[in-house]
Structure 1
Amino acid sequence: MRLKRAAAAGGALALLAVMGACSENKGTGPSVDEDRVQSGSIATDPKESMGPAPEVPGAAKGGTFRVIREVKISHLDPQRVYSFAGLMNAQLYSRFLTTFKDDGSGKVTLVGDLATTPGKDVNSDCKVWEFTIKDGVKFEDGSPITSKEIAYGIARSFDPDLTGGPTYLQEWLADTPQYDTKWDFKANKTSLPPGLTTPDAKTLRFEFAKPHCDLPFAASLPYTAPLKADKDTGVNLDNQPFSSGPYKITKNTSGVELVMERNEHWDANTDPVRHAYPDRIVWNFGPDPEAGANRVIADNGDDQTALGWNGVPSALVARVAGDAALKPRSVQGPTPSLWRLTINTSRVTDLAVRQALNYAIDRDGFIKAYGGEASARAVTSLLPPSTIGYQKHDVYPAGPSGNVDKAKELLAGKTPELVLGISDDSTELATQLKGNLEKAGFKITVKTIPTDAKLDEVGKKGNPWDIWIDQWAADWPSGAAILPVLFDGRSIKAESNSNTSYVNNDAINAEFDRVLAMPVAEQGAEWAKLDERIMKELAPAVPLFVENGYYLHGSKVGGIFISSIFGYPSMVNVHVKQ
């Protein structure tokens, strides 16, 4: 998932598939567990998918938990949820086919949520999958959730009016990125898209033209949330979703406040991950990151039970990290949001030039311009360390500050003229990059792009930039959600490209197909090998860093940890200290 980032040196954001951890801070900045290894599995015993979730020591029901955030959540409709605040919040009022058991330690297990297991690969070829729906799962009105309502939720995600959500299932079922032209939801509301069937009330069946071994992971996203057809209000569902989770939305004042209260029909015995300890969860929107953080630091009144969602801004890091009284109220961890200098290979066609860029890069200088070690840690791979099967490699060993001499050797006296596209709110990063690369023999022309338009503009084939800063966070902790998405040339289209390096290599594309057809448990090591091979043979980007997350909560908040999947503070264990 490519993401829009506001200020370059603002509070660190935590994103999907994070390796979350808290550790002792002995310096002036936050300390994170940088050596944690991500591991994951898919539950095979149906007991692992049943509830109730193990009790959190010291937790009790009651009270109101609050979240302070600058802006409202972009979408509440589960089929449209794809922001990370949205993803973390949606699991409180919606349930999905599958979900992850996670305590923030980096070890995750995929289990059934509405389903009794994470799915059955019927023919052991990853083309036909079946899910059995649990007994006792209900909507907020007490009516039972069956395969029919889950299928309807997936079907409505084909509606082109319901923009914003992920599109894996739609594209896989339709066997084309143009899924909404393959099957028209508006004209077929009483039927289901091709390949999706409900043989009975307890069975949901997917049939794909190609193998999709990652389906159990993809089914954990909110577009598998159920919905009754007669409760579908179209685009207005964004204002008042129909609950299948432990909470229901009782008040939504757009941009001001979102209130959730208990769904009395949620059965903890069916839920392997959620607790619903607080009576109410309230989002308060408005304060900027610094104002929100200062409220949590002050710890007065209702803010004693609050979490600062925008993190600790860089201006407050030294103060917060140096205050021993705040350490028990801080949550820290590296995230999987990997930033890279994307190289437009359709314009920068010389491999030696792309390799020289990798040698020239001054990661330390870039990280300082970005916000310092409190905000980021350097990487040299296309996969973040949070990826299952990750192996560290450094194909172009240039040291933390770059190797200008090696870059000049590769350029062999040439002075490549490159256009650097930069968001108009990231001029400090542009200054650092320009100075860094020109020392190595490049001539850099900086051209700004409006921040709100940058993702659209660099996603256009034939755009006028040679290099730009990009970022990606996987939708689940597998190389399958990173490397093929970013570097499979067969996906390149006129606009809205994720492969913004515009690389298209037949041998690498064939490797994507080979690994994607393997059982998920065997893919991890293969993605790591392919990561290194892509960097050696194609050098389509310069890996820069992964972000660090740093959050504060009030003194009466317990159970917060950074999600190993979503990368923001998880609220499944949250409780108000009585």
Structure 2
Amino acid sequence: MDLSTYSISSLSRRGFMLGVGATTAVAALSACGANERSAQIAGSATPTKGGMMTVLTSSTDMNWDPGRSQGMAVTSLALVHRRLTSWQIVSGKEVKVVPDLATDTGKASDGGKTWTFTLKDDLVAEDGSPITSTQIRHGVERTFTASLAGGLGYHKTLLAGTSGYTGPYQGKHLTSIETPDDKTIVFHLKAPFGDWPWIVSMPAFAPVPLGDNPTTYGRKPVASGPYRVAEYKQGVAATLKRNPKWTASSDEVRTALPDTIVFSLGQDSSVVAQRLISDSGNDRNAFGAEMVPPAHVLQVTSNPQAKSRLAVGSAGPLQYLAINVERVKDVTVRQAIAYAVDRKAATIALGGEIGASPATTYITPGIPGRQDYNLYPESTAKAQKILQGKTVGQLVLLVSNDEEMLALAQAVQQALQKVNISVKINPVESETWIEKTTQSDGSEYDLTIASWNPDYPSANANLQPLFASSEIGSGGFNLSRYHNAEVDRMLTEVAALPMNEAKEKWAKIDRRIAQDVPVVPLVYRRNAFLHGSGVSGFFVNPFPAYPNYLVVGVQK
């Protein structure tokens, strides 16, 4: 099977960007099922209906076009746009894929190459028009238009017959998407892909009415979710009001509690932290879209009242040391590096237990099928024994010139010094780092520090982007330049399986890759978010490790 079929991560770098630093994270949010919402939101009063909720964000612009979005299935965009499927996120439980506009999570045929979805009855958009399969097909097809580049694009390489396609605006349609009637949509893939139910939870699978203007739709979209964009002032605020055409009975992931949701734009993260710590006036019914800046974490945790309003995930994005296997070829040297790395020091570098927890697996916590293990527990003695008689020249550690990445690089440097491996840290601007690690021949680094948060809740989204040989260079994120034919075959075979069958097999692939040590897990970033005292239903799970806009309520 052609491995390029699964070269899907190069179309989206969102997984990388989420983990780079505490102040650069975007709001990726979570939802839980309607029948379990109130009872299973831990540590929070039962949300009530009504009132105005404010989201304080450093973003100066918000585009509501699903074709351009890199948000998860449960981001702020999901307040306005529904998709074929969504994610059910219950506090303390693994994520589940659930129906959204569709009646189920899809029916596979043709060995997993064909997926059929049926829409629920009586779905109506904000403008009063029925939501149809043709609108969903149009939503997908328009993402191939050059002016709508930049959104999550996994479907672009998975769908058959996309070569040379440039969108529907000249009347051309993809032959791989069929709409035999208004309620049925059929997708034909290049190869079997068991995670397709996750893929159709992405923004591209939201309905968009035919006749839209792609240059202006992001300002005045037609809502299918519980809220409509009532007002937008660039750089100031985006105001969402209720969409009267939405029905709660058809939607199992959105509670739609507040009457109004205001995104207050262009807010300085430090000022946001101080406002939420003070917890006065309208800020009692507000929360921050970005993580609490590291400089303010101690201030929050030393204030009992503020600390009670701090939601911290037990784990989150993986931050790791990638070893360039084309330059550090001896697997025993890579094993020694893995034993020598001090995860406690890495945790301290990110602020201690409030900032991170030690990482030992490539699959991140909260992803279905993950199994916990540690092939290389910290041991300076084991590392030194492995290195006896070996000569390891100075290793160049390329790192983005970011406070957190530099702190991790220094922790790695100090740990390797203890086993007589010299490390030279080479900090560069983030754009330069991306170019040298993802687009060049890899000749300028032996080691690099990176971060990964998968775009959807599957181990495939952890492993394929980081370790498939098809992801070396050309914008791919295989930073260790790892190429193993056996692993490529395993990734392809398991990707074709139904999700339930694939879960345990992903864990085996995780361990198999770890034997070759292309990457040393360092920490799982613990994301911390602060909210006002009037906000309820606010929690952070290991995945997606961001707060849950879709079930949050406020006091009236």
The TM-score with structure 1 as length reference comes to 0.86
Deviation at 1:499, TM superposition (A): 1.6
1:67 and 2:49 are equivalent in the alignment:
no
1:108-162 per-position Cα deviation (integer Å, ceiling 9, x unaligned): 3322111111111134x21111000112222211111100000000111122332
The one of 69, 83, 105 equivalent to 2:92 is: 105
CA displacement 1:411-460 (0-9 Å, x = unmatched)? 63312222111112334443333232233222222222212443343111
Q: Is the Cα contact below 8 Å between 1:53 and 1:272 reproduced in 2?
A: no
TM-superposition CA deviations, 1:253-285 (whole Å, max 9, x none): 223211111111111121111121211101112
SS of the residue corresponding to residue 79 of structure 1 reads helix
Alignment pair present for 1:502 and 2:502 = no
Q: Which of these residues, 200, 207, 218, is aligned with residue 226 of structure 1? A: 207
- Partner Cα distance (1:349, 1:160) in 2: 41
One-letter amino acid of the structure 1 residue matched with residue 396 of structure 2: V
Give, in angstroms, the shift of residue 6 of structure 1. Answer: 8.7
Tell me, yes or no, if structure 1 residue 314 matches structure 2 residue 294: yes
Q: Distance in 1 between matches of 2:126 and 2:277?
A: 36
Residue 172 of structure 2 is aligned with which of 186, 191, 201?
191
Tell me, yes or no, if structure 1 residue 4 matches structure 2 residue 3.
no
Deviation by residue 1:44-73 (Cα, 9 ceiling, x = unmatched):
xxxx9xx78866785433211001112236
Aligned counterpart, 1:43: none
1:121 to 90, 98, 108: 108
Q: How far did residue 514 of structure 1 move? A: 2.0
- Secondary structure (helix, strand or coil) at the match of 1:182 reads coil
SS at 2:291's partner residue? coil
> One-letter code of the match for 1:134?
K
Q: Distance in 2 between matches of 1:3 and 1:436?
A: 25
SS of alignment partner, residue 94 of structure 1: coil
Q: Retained in 2: the 8 A contact 1:104–1:564?
A: no
1:462–1:549 Cα change, 3 Å = same
- What is the alpha-carbon distance in structure 2 between the residues aligned to residue 362 and residue 474 of structure 1? 25
Instruction: Please state whether the residue corresponding to 1:206 is helix, strand or coil.
Output: strand
* CA shift digits 1:232-272 (9 cap, x unpaired): x2243333333111111122222321111111111112111
Which letter maps to 2:345?
G
Distance in 1 (CA, whole Å) between partners of 2:246 and 2:512 is 48
Aligned length, in residue pairs: 535
User: Counterpart of 2:10?
Assistant: none
Residues 17 and 25, structure 2, Cα contact 8 Å, conserved in 1: no
- The aligned counterpart of 1:272 is 252
Q: SS of the counterpart of 1:542?
A: strand
Query: Counterparts of 1:128 and 1:183 in 2: how far apart (Å)?
Result: 20
**Take 1:348 and 1:17, find their aligned partners in 2: how far apart are those partners?**
39
Distance 1:563 1:523, change over 3 A: same
Partner residue, 2:9: none
1:368-418 Cα distance to aligned partner (Å, 9 max, x none): 2222221100111111122212111111222xxx52552463363312222
CA distance in 1 between counterparts of 2:348 and 2:450 reads 18
> Measured at CA, do residues 206 and 451 of structure 1 come closer, stay the same or move farther in structure 2, by a change above 3 Å?
same
Equivalence for 2:8 = none
Aligned to 1:351: 331
Alignment match, 2:537: 559
The answer for the alignment partner of 1:34 in structure 2 is: none
> 1:184 is aligned with what amino acid?
T
Aligned to 1:420, the other structure's residue is in SS state: strand
Per-residue CA deviations over 1:516-535 (Å, capped at 9, x if unaligned) read 22221121111111111111
Q: 1:230 to 1:564 in 2, by over 3 A?
A: farther
Amino acid aligned to 1:117? D
Aligned-partner SS, 2:354: coil
Aligned to 2:69: 81
What is the distance in 2 between the residues matched to 1:456 and 1:213?
32
Q: Which amino acid aligns with 2:264?
A: N
Q: 1:565 to 1:116 in 2, by over 3 A?
A: farther
Between the aligned partners of 2:388 and 2:67, the Cα distance in structure 1 is 49
Structure 2 counterpart of 1:45: none
Task: Give the % identical residues.
Answer: 32
- Structure 1 pair 59/254, CA: closer, same or farther in 2 (3 Å)? same
**In structure 2, the residue corresponding to 1:521 is in which secondary structure?**
helix
What are structure 1's unaligned runs of at least 5 residues?
A: 21-39, 41-47
Aligned-partner SS, 2:274: helix
Q: Is the 8 A contact 2:27 2:290 kept in 1?
A: no
CA distance in 2, matches of 1:300, 1:428: 35
Q: Distance in 1 between matches of 2:491 and 2:106?
A: 23
Compute the displacement of 1:189 (Å): 4.2
2:524 maps to which residue?
546
Residues 1:171 and 2:148 aligned together: no
Instruction: Compute the displacement of 1:165 (Å).
Output: 1.6
Q: Is the 8 A contact 2:57 2:263 kept in 1?
A: yes
Q: Structure 1 residue 250 and structure 2 residue 230: aligned? A: yes
- Corresponding residue of 1:331: 311
- Residues 58 and 350 from structure 1, CA distance in 2 versus in 1: closer, same or farther, beyond 3 angstroms? closer
Conserved? CA contact 1:563–1:570, under 8 Å:
no
Taking the aligned partners of 1:374 and 1:446, their CA distance within structure 2 comes to 26
Query: Quick one: structure 1 residues 528 and 108, their matched pair in 2 at CA, closer, same or farther if it must change by over 3 Å?
Result: same
Q: Give 1:292 deviation, angstroms.
A: 0.6
Task: Determine helix, strand or coil for the equivalent of 2:296.
Answer: helix
- How far has the Cα of 1:481 moved from its partner? 1.3
Q: Which runs of 5 or more residues in structure 2 are unaligned? A: 1-13, 40-44
1:364 aligns with 2:344: yes
CA distance in 1, matches of 2:446, 2:288: 38
> What amino acid does structure 1 have at the position aligned with 2:65?
D
Look up the match of 2:147. Answer: 161
Alignment of 1:377-396 (within 5 A): 377-396=357-376
Letter of the structure 2 residue corresponding to residue 228 of structure 1: P
Does the 8 A contact of 2:232 with 2:238 survive in 1? yes
CA–CA separation in structure 2 for the residues paired with 1:577 and 1:373: 32
Letter in 2 for 1:97: L
Q: CA deviation at 1:298?
A: 0.9
Q: 1:411 to 1:466 in 2, by over 3 A?
A: farther
* Paired position in structure 1 for 2:429: 450
Q: For residue 394 of structure 2, what is the aligned residue in structure 1?
A: 417
SS in 2 for 1:569: coil
Could you say if the C-alpha distance between residues 396 and 61 of structure 1 is closer, same or farther in structure 2, counting changes exceeding 3 Å?
closer
Query: What are the Cα deviations for residues 160-204 of structure 1, in whole angstroms up to 9, with x where unaligned?
Result: 3322222221111147xxx5x432226x64232231111111100
Partner letter of residue 418 of structure 1?
L
